[in-house]
Amino acid sequence: MKKALNGFFITAIHTDSGKTLASAIIAESLKADYWKPIQCGTPTDTAQIKSWFGDALKTHPEQYFLSTPASPHFAAEQENKEINLKEFHLPDTSSRPLIVEGAGGLLVPLTQKWVLADLVEKLGLPVILVINHYLGALNHSLLTIKEIQCRKIPLAGLVFNGKDFQNAESVILEAAQCPCLLRIPTLDHIDYSTIKTLSQKLEWK
């Protein structure tokens, strides 16, 4: 997937897969804006992005901020709120690309009716899937890819986070039929310099 697109929706197979770091790296590569439409819990991912970039990257405010660290549907229930899919619209980025970071995985519920994949479809951006390695990640990856394919959502590429586990990457790439854009190594420290270095290793096709 070429860099000239309007942007990407970053999702993952797991809550702690590294979506925010991947979003930062891709935003740096594209000189894109960043938007986290649904935030559950603090510290926020937008705050993390700002701590890395300072004023070097434009962020857009969350559509829904929920202080409860839980799935969006449960957090909203706890705070007497309701997430309305119709309220989501891509922010104006003044022609810059936009990186949108999801909440949790693709099938995390937003309400009793809607899941995150419904929001992906509404926003209309191709997906980049972040995959971290752990026991069970292969199954979670294949299930996520299957959902993307069933919904006919464009899958731009994969980002692997951490060391390959039991040669899972080859199986996942065969199922996904899309390129690996980046492999993020295990990192002891992350700052803007780290993000810039990794952004230069993105393999846009």
What contacts 188, CB < 8 A, 6 or more positions away?
A: none
Task: Look at the block and give the residue holding tokens 């899919």.
Answer: 85
Task: Look at the block and give the residue holding tokens 């290793």.
Answer: 201
Return phi, psi of residue 189, to 5°.
Answer: -150, 140
Tokens read off for 100: 């949108």
Cα angle: 152, vertex 154, 159; to 5 degrees:
125
Question: Among all residues, which ones are annotated catalytic?
Answer: 36
Number of other CB atoms surrounding residue 55 within 10 Å: 6
- DSSP structure string for 3-70: TTSSEEEEEESSTTS-HHHHHHHHHHHHT-EEE-SEEESSS-HHHHHHHHHTTSS-EE--SEEE-S-S
